[in-house]
Amino acid sequence: MIKGIDLGLALFLVVLGCAHNFIAAPLAYDHFSIEALWFVSAGMALWYAGFINLLRVAAGRPGRLLAAGCLLTNISLLAFVLAYAAVLGNW
């Protein structure tokens, strides 16, 4: 059960990154700019977080390095999202 939830959330991160980059980015930016690149980099971060979690799920019993890398990735991405929301005032 937990492994299924874990897999679902990892896939959700990848799909969210795809939606962010391939749907939201073209709607938000009509030209190539530094702002557009910054926006797309957030979608790429979602891909990386999703894929590293997929690796951990696929490994079954991951080693400590992979488990620690996933934990660090997940915590740092969550901290970034919360900090960004705080800066924008979107609590």
Say whether 91 sits in a helix, a strand or coil: coil
pLDDT at 10: 93
The structure's pTM equals 0.75
Q: Which two tokens stand for residue 8?
A: 């679902």
- The DSSP code for 63 is -
Contact 32, 76 (CB under 8 A): no
Per-residue pLDDT at 59: 83
Task: Please report the pLDDT score of residue 20 as a whole number.
Answer: 96
Q: Burial of 52 by CB count in 10 Å (0-12 exposed, 13-18 middle, 19+ buried)?
A: middle
Block means of pLDDT (10 residues each) for the chain, 91 residues, are 90 96 95 89 92 87 85 89 83 68
Extents of the domains making up the chain: 2-88
Task: State the Cα torsion 35-38-40-41 to the nearest 10°.
Answer: 170
